[in-house]
Structure 1
Amino acid sequence: MTKIFGHRGSAGTHPENTMISFEQAYIDGADGIELDVQLSKDGIPVVIHDEKVDRTTNGKGFVKDMKLKELQKLNAVYKFADQYKAAAIPTLDQVLNWAKGKGILINIELKNGIIAYEGLEEKVVELIDKYDLHSNIIFSSFNHYSIAKLHKLVPDIDKAVLYMEGIYKPWEYTKWVGGNGIHPSIKACPAVLIEQSQKAGVPVRPFTVNDKKVMKKLFEINCAGFFTDYPKIAVQLRK
């Protein structure tokens, strides 16, 4: 069965990468959530997509330049201010604590393609160990050095390379860097690629799939999973 991942939670209808959004994806019946992790100035793994806080909060500046206390004072309701008064930037610790015992999958994207956060992988793994969630986690990153590093740190946790443009035989490439899945942009993900990859034993989970026709097609060809801003719609379609 094709697994449905709420992209940054239920980002199409709720403030992305917040507890409100993750809880909604869970309520809507998503199999998993996807989130982005960076480090605060004091080295705490925090859940936010952009390197700067400008787009999704009422603050300005780089995540790396703010201590956790400063980040948590920001309001991350983003474009949903008419629906919600406030939402904080969560820590990864907070999200994993919430997820424990729920059986939900968590795709952790390491946001270290632009800023090389020292020790990001180790800190994230430490938290997964703390909550004993190895079997619930999938790691992904556009920084494939990070996938290789994680392969050494936690060979038992699923890992996938993220990419936007065509890679030759991506199902072979991901194994070469230490991954065991691929997460291509839906634009670089024809049905034939999904079939070839999954035939080779490498699951494919494209992003970000918001078109109902495309969702239906992915269900039909038994794609391993996909990421969507509208998990509720995807769950209803799958039924």
Structure 2
Amino acid sequence: MTLIFAHRGSAGTHPENTMSAFKEAARVGADGIETDVQLSKDGEVVIIHDEKLDRTTNASGYVKNRTLMELKTLNASSNYKGKWGKEKIPTLEELLIWLNNNQLFCNIELKNTLFPYPGLEEKVIRLIRAYQMEERIILSSFNHYSLVHCHRLAPEMETAPLYRDGLYMPWIYAKAIGGSAIHPNIRVAPDVIIRASLSMGVPVRPYTINKEAEMKRLYKLGCSGIITDFPEAAVRIREGLKSK
């Protein structure tokens, strides 16, 4: 069965990377969530996608220049014009505590391509181990040096390179850097690549799958997982195919 990962939570319907978006993903029956982590000025692991605060909060400037206490005063649902009330930027620890009360998988993307965030890998892995979540976490990043570092620190955890340009035999590349899956942009994941990767035992979870036709194609292919902004629709479409 193709697993459904809710991109930044149910980002198509709720403020992305907030607890309300994650809870909605759980409510609608997603199999997992995808989220992003960075470090605050005082070295805390926080959940937010952009390096800048401008798009998703009522503040501006870089995440890395604010302490956790300062980040916690911001409204992370400001682009929803009050529809969901005030949402705080969660910490990874808050998310892991919540995940302990359900069975969702979690794909944590390390946002360390623009800023290297020294110590991010160690802190993320330490938290995952503290909450004994190793079996349910996938670590991904566009920074593949970071993924190699993660694999060396925690060989028991699954890592998956994110990429948006075509790779030749990406399943071989993934294994070469200690990865056990690939997370390609859907534009560089044609059927032939997905089938070949699956045949070599390397799961494929493309992003960002929001169109019904694309979901159906990937379900029928037996793709390992999809990362989508609309988990409720993805679950409905998957159920619809099952009943046929």
SS at match of 1:22: helix
Residue 45, structure 1, aligned to residue 55, structure 2: no
Residue 186, structure 1, aligned to residue 186, structure 2: yes
5+ long unaligned stretches in structure 1: none
Which residue number in structure 2 is paired with residue 61 of structure 1?
61
- How far the C-alpha of 1:50 sits from its partner, in A, is 0.3
SS at match of 1:128: helix
Which deviates the most, 78-87 or 103-112? 78-87
- How far the C-alpha of 1:13 sits from its partner, in A, is 0.4
Q: Is the 8 A contact 2:57 2:79 kept in 1?
A: no
- Within-5 A mapping of 1:60-209: 60-209=60-209
What's the CA shift string for 1:33-83, capped at 9, x where partnerless?
000000000000000000011100000110111000000100010322241
Which deviates the most, 12-21 or 69-78? 69-78
> Whole-Å Cα distance in 1 between the matches of residues 85 and 101 of structure 2?
29
SS at match of 1:218: helix
Root-mean-square deviation (CA, aligned residues, Å) is 0.7
- How far the C-alpha of 1:156 sits from its partner, in A, is 1.1
TM-score, normalised by the number of residues in structure 2: 0.97
Which amino acid is the alignment partner of residue 20 of structure 1?
S
SS at match of 1:96: helix
- How far the C-alpha of 1:101 sits from its partner, in A, is 3.5
> Whole-Å Cα distance in 2 between the matches of residues 117 and 177 of structure 1?
20
- How far the C-alpha of 1:89 sits from its partner, in A, is 0.3
- How far the C-alpha of 1:130 sits from its partner, in A, is 1.1
- How far the C-alpha of 1:190 sits from its partner, in A, is 0.2
Which deviates the most, 137-146 or 70-79? 70-79
> Whole-Å Cα distance in 2 between the matches of residues 89 and 54 of structure 1?
13
- How far the C-alpha of 1:164 sits from its partner, in A, is 0.3
SS at match of 1:114: coil
Which amino acid is the alignment partner of residue 197 of structure 1?
S
Moved over 4 A (4+): none
Which residue number in structure 2 is paired with residue 230 of structure 1?
230
- How far the C-alpha of 1:102 sits from its partner, in A, is 0.7
- How far the C-alpha of 1:220 sits from its partner, in A, is 0.2
Which amino acid is the alignment partner of residue 84 of structure 1?
W
Q: Percent identity?
A: 52
- How far the C-alpha of 1:30 sits from its partner, in A, is 0.3
SS at match of 1:84: coil
Which residue number in structure 1 is paired with residue 14 of structure 2?
14
Which amino acid is the alignment partner of residue 135 of structure 1?
E
5+ long unaligned stretches in structure 2: 240-244
Which amino acid is the alignment partner of residue 189 of structure 1?
A
What's the CA shift string for 1:1-31, capped at 9, x where partnerless?
0000000000000000000000000001000
TM-score, normalised by the number of residues in structure 1: 0.99
- How far the C-alpha of 1:160 sits from its partner, in A, is 0.3
SS at match of 2:30: coil
